């Protein structure tokens, strides 16, 4: 019996530093067949040039990631669609585990992520992400049967930032959600505190419409609760105490992100 085609959709924008490693990790999957689609957003570097060495399905679409992903899904030929960012690398077993697990009737699958990078703030972000493993409130699904993705209308193109949560919540209202064990490795690069704060401020401008339309009000409130996040962190005191300096940095970074997010949210309400 022929294995079903999986369409892996990678969104990019000026990602020449990451695109090769990302596409190599897809190429090295133990599963076949896989269709790779790269949907770029007007890159000014060599992102498209590098991508074309790995796949003929390279497109240009904007203005934001949600629109890129929906466009990629429209072009996808696979029975399943899998959405990843360009700064991610897949463990070799990821797609194979997804196909095997989705057969159990799931509407979407969460793939656990592990961050890495250079410098103190990248290590702090990696520590933060380690607290979210198996946390259904924070993690979101990335792998879907295409018919389920289309049934719920795909990504909301009015959202940038919380669109993963939004899609997962809408699917979870109709289908059970699952997860696999193999990891996505998320390359934070050389992360700066100012960059992560600016990113949170930018995304927070789209939080209001997400919260308003949220299919799971309880989850959405917890996702934007700084006290809820602290509760997650302090539920694992041994991990915090293992490296107290890094833990303090992580808590400072997360607090700064929440402050920036709050400001972004307020600015969006004034318009």
Work out the end-to-end distance of the chain between its first and last CA atoms, rounded to an integer number of angstroms.
56
Model confidence at 270, in pLDDT bands (50, 70, 90)?
Answer: low
pLDDT of 179 > 90? The answer is yes
pLDDT digits (tens, 9 = 90+) for 129-176: 999 998 888 899 999 999 999 999 999 998 888 899 999 999 999 999
Residue 268 domain flag: no
**How far, CA to CA in Å, does 143 sit from each of 169, 179, 197?**
14, 9, 28
Residue 122 domain flag: yes
**How far, CA to CA in Å, does 209 sit from each of 75, 161, 204, 229?**
28, 11, 10, 21
Please give the model's pTM, rounded to 2 decimal places. 0.91
Average pLDDT on 52-78 reads 96
Residue 216, pLDDT score: 59
Q: Coil, strand or helix: which one is 7?
A: strand
* Cα 16 from Cα 51, distance rounded (Å): 9
Average pLDDT on 57-67 reads 93
Residue 255 domain flag: no
Angle between helices 244-270 and 226-234 (to 10 degrees): 160
When divided into structural domains, the chain yields a total of 1
Residue 265 domain flag: no
Range of the domain at 100: 6-190
pLDDT of 211 > 80? The answer is no
- Cβ pair 142, 270 in contact under 8 A: no
Give the residue with greater pLDDT, 221 vs 248.
Answer: 248
List the CATH number of the domain containing 53. 3.90.550.10
């Amino acid at each position: 019996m022929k294995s079903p085609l999986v369409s892996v959709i990678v969104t990019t924008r000026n990602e020449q530093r990451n695109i090769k490693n990302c596409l190599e990790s897809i190429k090295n999957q133990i599963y076949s067949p896989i269709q790779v689609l790269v949907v770029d957003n007007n890159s000014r570097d060599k992102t498209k040039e590098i991508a074309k060495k790995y796949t003929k399905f390279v497109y240009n679409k904007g203005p934001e990631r949600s629109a890129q992903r929906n466009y990629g899904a429209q072009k996808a030929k696979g029975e399943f669609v899998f959405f990843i960012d360009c700064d991610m690398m897949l463990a070799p077993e990821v797609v194979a585990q997804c196909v095997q697990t989705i057969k159990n009737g799931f509407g979407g699958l969460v793939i656990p992520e592990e961050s890495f990078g250079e410098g103190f703030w990248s290590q702090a972000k990696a520590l933060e992400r380690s607290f979210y493993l198996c946390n259904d409130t924070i993690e979101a699904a990335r792998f879907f049967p295409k018919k389920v993705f289309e049934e719920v209308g795909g990504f909301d193109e009015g959202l940038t930032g919380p669109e993963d949560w939004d899609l997962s919540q809408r699917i979870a209202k109709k289908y059970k959600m699952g997860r696999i064990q193999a990891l996505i490795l998320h390359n934070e690069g050389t992360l700066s505190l100012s960059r992560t704060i600016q990113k949170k401020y930018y995304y927070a401008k789209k939080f209001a419409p997400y919260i308003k339309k949220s299919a799971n009000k309880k989850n959405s409130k917890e996702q934007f609760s700084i006290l809820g996040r602290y509760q997650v962190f302090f539920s694992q005191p041994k991990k915090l105490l293992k490296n107290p300096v890094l833990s303090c940095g992580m808590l400072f970074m997360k607090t700064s992100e929440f402050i920036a997010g709050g400001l972004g949210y307020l600015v969006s309400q004034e318009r």
